[in-house]
Amino acid sequence: MKPITLKDIAEILGVSVTTVSKALKDYPDVSKKTKRLVKETAQTLNYKPNAFAVNLRTSESKTIGIIIPEVVHHFFSSVLKGIIAQAEKKGYLVIILQSNESFELEKKQIDLLLSKRVDGILISLANSTIHFDHINDIINSDTPLVLFDKIAKVVQCSKVIINDRKAAYTATTHLITSGCKKIAHFRGPLLPQNSIDRFLGYKNALLDHGMTYDPSLVYILNDMSFEEGVQFAKKLLKDHNDVDGIFINTDLVAIGAISEFNNQGIDIPNDISIVGFSNWFMSSVISPTLTTIDQPGYKMGKVAFKLLYKEIKQKKQKTPVTFKTVELPTELIIRDSSKTTKAS
């Protein structure tokens, strides 16, 4: 069935298309009687505004694009919920794309979003992204951009982050003050800034507390998966069976490590204390429950959209945009996988 148009309603009521348009928008120069007739007729005929035509007139698509490394990742799913909750309040549709940690796919997805004329883009960068021309293409196209979580410091745009170095320092310090003498680190790939910062936080905590930094205790993971947690737990026991503490880059890996230690009859936390990062739901239900850094994903999503929306409005009003970096606080959640501090 052919969609009902403003012209159809105008012909039925014997008025102009302009009058119909104004009546639907509640213009004051249209009588209450005419507005009522127009709106009743539009409802009866199930009239829907032509979104494409509206977008052409307003230069807005009322859509934003989001690119994240993984949709199923607990942290990113929380971020998405925060973004969508705010976007819906402002009448925006959200296009969600998953880069699968691929630089090449990320580039193609940015091209796609720009071709769709989205009003703004939110991105958490792929682990393999080390060149940023495609990110700068967004800025050069005058499309508002906000980076979150995994960012590039050299890109000039607004960002929403946590202090990964400080959070990792806190996690490692907790292991030290609870009595651990030899602490390993399961880190992420070499490239992402948050992986670098979490490693540096771990290293600085050791040095600041008079402990020796041993590079052989740092294990570089690529997939950051449950399976790698199992794999590197086995490797750690083979390489350093006297390790009594581990700071692990993300909870999923930590849960894999706990599973393997449980299988081998290792007493957590008395033999090995473990601290993860992110505070996944699973971290509170695994046995023993996982001590971890709480990373505020939902709030990060809300703040990221609010920043983007502000810049979208500033662009529309042709007012200068000042880029802003928002740092959200984190918190150490102490559970059963680590011993309490000596002081307590």
Question: In angstroms, rounded to a whole number, what is the distance separating the alpha carbons of residues 264 and 234?
Answer: 9
Where exactly are the structural domains of the chain?
6-49, 58-162+297-330, 164-295
What pLDDT, on the 0 to 100 scale, is given for residue 78? 95
What pLDDT, on the 0 to 100 scale, is given for residue 233? 98
Q: Which fold has domain 58-162+297-330?
A: Rossmann fold (3.40.50)
For residue 309 the two structure tokens come to: 């929306």
What pLDDT, on the 0 to 100 scale, is given for residue 344? 40
Question: In angstroms, rounded to a whole number, what is the distance separating the alpha carbons of residues 246 and 225?
Answer: 16
What pLDDT, on the 0 to 100 scale, is given for residue 131? 92
What's the whole-number mean pLDDT along residues 209-224? 96
What are the start-end ranges of the E strands in 62-119?
63-68, 93-98
Question: In angstroms, rounded to a whole number, what is the distance separating the alpha carbons of residues 210 and 208?
Answer: 6
Does the structural domain 164-295 have CATH classification 3.40.50.970?
Answer: no
The region of weakest confidence among 39-48, 90-99, 137-146 is: 39-48
What's the whole-number mean pLDDT along residues 113-119? 92
292-333 pLDDT, tens digit per residue, is 999 999 999 999 999 999 999 999 899 999 999 999 999 999
> Model pTM?
0.81
Q: In the 8-state DSSP scheme, what is residue 273?
A: E
Query: Are 150 and 127 within 8 A, CB to CB?
Result: yes
181-210 pLDDT, tens digit per residue, is 999 999 998 888 899 999 999 999 999 999
Instruction: Share the mean pLDDT of the chain.
Output: 92
The region of weakest confidence among 35-39, 50-54, 146-150, 247-251 is: 50-54
Residue 342 has pLDDT above 80, yes or no: no
3-state helix, strand, coil in the chain (%, to 5): 45, 15, 40
* pLDDT band, very low/low/confident/very high, at 343 (cuts 50, 70, 90): very low
* pLDDT band, very low/low/confident/very high, at 160 (cuts 50, 70, 90): very high
Residue 2 has pLDDT above 80, yes or no: no
% of the chain with per-residue pLDDT over 70: 95
Question: In angstroms, rounded to a whole number, what is the distance separating the alpha carbons of residues 199 and 171?
Answer: 11
Angle between helices 17-24 and 6-13 (to 10 degrees): 110
What's the whole-number mean pLDDT along residues 124-145? 93
Question: In angstroms, rounded to a whole number, what is the distance separating the alpha carbons of residues 67 and 113?
Answer: 10
- Mapped onto helix, strand or coil, the DSSP state of residue 344 is coil
Evaluate whether 58-162+297-330 and 164-295 have a shared fold: yes
Beta strands 331-333 and 291-294 are: antiparallel
What's the whole-number mean pLDDT along residues 2-17? 86
Query: Are 7 and 17 within 8 A, CB to CB?
Result: yes
Between the CA of residue 236 and those of 183, 220, 233, what are the distances in Å? 11, 12, 5
Residue 176 has pLDDT above 80, yes or no: yes
Residue 84 has pLDDT above 50, yes or no: yes
Query: Are 144 and 120 within 8 A, CB to CB?
Result: yes
42-70 pLDDT, tens digit per residue, is 888 888 776 555 555 556 789 999 999 98
What pLDDT, on the 0 to 100 scale, is given for residue 276? 98
* pLDDT band, very low/low/confident/very high, at 135 (cuts 50, 70, 90): very high
What pLDDT, on the 0 to 100 scale, is given for residue 339? 93
221 vs 52, residue with greater confidence: 221
